[in-house]
Amino acid sequence: MKVYEIVKGATGIEGLRQAERPDPTPGRNQVLVRVRAVSLNFRDLAVLQGVYPGPPAAGNLIPLSDGAGEVVAVGEGVTRFKPGDRVASTFFQGWVDGPPRPGFPALGATSVDGMFAEYVALNENGLVGIPPSLSFEEAATLPCAGVTAWHALMVSGRPLRPGDSVLVLGTGGVSMLALQFARAAGARVLVTSSSDEKLERARRLGGTDFVNYTKTPDWEKEVLSLTGGRGADVVIEVGGTGTLAKSFQAVAFGGKIALIGVLTRGGDTTPHMLMLKGASLHGIFVGNRAMFEHMLTAMVVNDIKPIIDKVFPFDQAADAYRHQMAAAHFGKVVITL
């Protein structure tokens, strides 16, 4: 079968290459999936560049955590799926429900091969069924970004309520899915971006207030102004330590910040402002299979489709990575197989 590998020791795009590997055979409790689409996350760039946390891969690694396809065979003991079923991977294999704990492998990093192959064999508990309303390309955008956004809004801390205000930083996959989920829940959504064109696209998705942080560097003050001095009840913090101090200023009294991203470095991360506001900071690291399944139910009921920026064919995978690296995308970058 055809796969993409990241060569051991790679530090950039030159380390990504096509390769051939034997077709996998499903073992006990495993499902063999013909992968039809995969998507890219910021995390996948870190893996390619050799800066992802954790021990390096022992050999060449099949990357990417996010993929969707159809079941072509099942191993002994499988009860959840049958050939012909449409499925998507879960980011953490084995984390079905409950709180996180050490030991759940994440696809496509360290020494755990991911989804960027024509065929993958995964434990049946590491997959979810995808509804007819979603294409393979759409479903492939959800295992990391979708579940992360759902976890941040609906599970961690106080769940989102109608009338709440949500601040999303930027217009990447997590932020735009959070916008869609929040609007479906009856929330007001404030969006930041360096691009007026992207802010206009966010408006068409249902965003209600907008801040161009290039034109308004003190965007946290503008958020306070737009909310009548209250601030945002929920902040989807994908920037990381470089934007965290501004998010402390922008969050409402009693609000929560969902800490997701590592896009920026540096900055003041002193949390005293949270104490003064009675606000909370929640670390979000994707989520479990139950969250994925609940999210899919909500997407069907509310007819939510993830936003795909661009779809690349398999042979143009390097171009897809470059597009993601350029940070010019709106929503998700997808590759078809």
**Domain span(s) for CATH 3.90.180.10 in the chain:** 2-145+287-336
Q: What fold does the segment set 2-145+287-336 form as a domain? A: Quinone Oxidoreductase; Chain A, domain 1 (3.90.180)
Select the more confidently predicted residue: 2 or 242: 2
For residues 108-116, average pLDDT: 95
Position 262 scores a pLDDT of 60
pTM over 0.85: yes
**Domain span(s) for CATH 3.40.50.720 in the chain:** 157-283
Question: To the nearest whole percent, how much of the chain has pLDDT over 90?
Answer: 88
From residue 259, how far is each of 62, 71, 160, 170, 236 by CA, in Å?
A: 28, 35, 16, 14, 7
Which range (173-187, 208-222, 237-251) has the least confidence? 237-251
Which range (45-59, 71-85, 233-247, 260-274) has the least confidence? 260-274
Position 268 scores a pLDDT of 65
Structure tokens at 97: 């429900």
Which range (89-103, 128-142, 300-314) has the least confidence? 89-103
Is residue 300 over pLDDT 90?
yes
Q: CA neighbours within 13 Å on the CB side: how many for 334?
A: 26
Alpha carbons 297 and 292: distance in angstroms, whole number: 9
Q: Are 15 and 6 in contact (CB under 8 A)?
A: yes
Select the more confidently predicted residue: 94 or 272: 94
Position 74 scores a pLDDT of 98
Is residue 33 over pLDDT 70?
yes
Which range (28-32, 103-107, 124-128, 165-169) has the least confidence? 103-107
Is residue 319 over pLDDT 90?
yes
Options 3.30.1450.10, 3.40.50.970, 3.40.50.720, 3.30.360.10; CATH of 157-283: 3.40.50.720
Is residue 263 over pLDDT 80?
no
Position 100 scores a pLDDT of 86
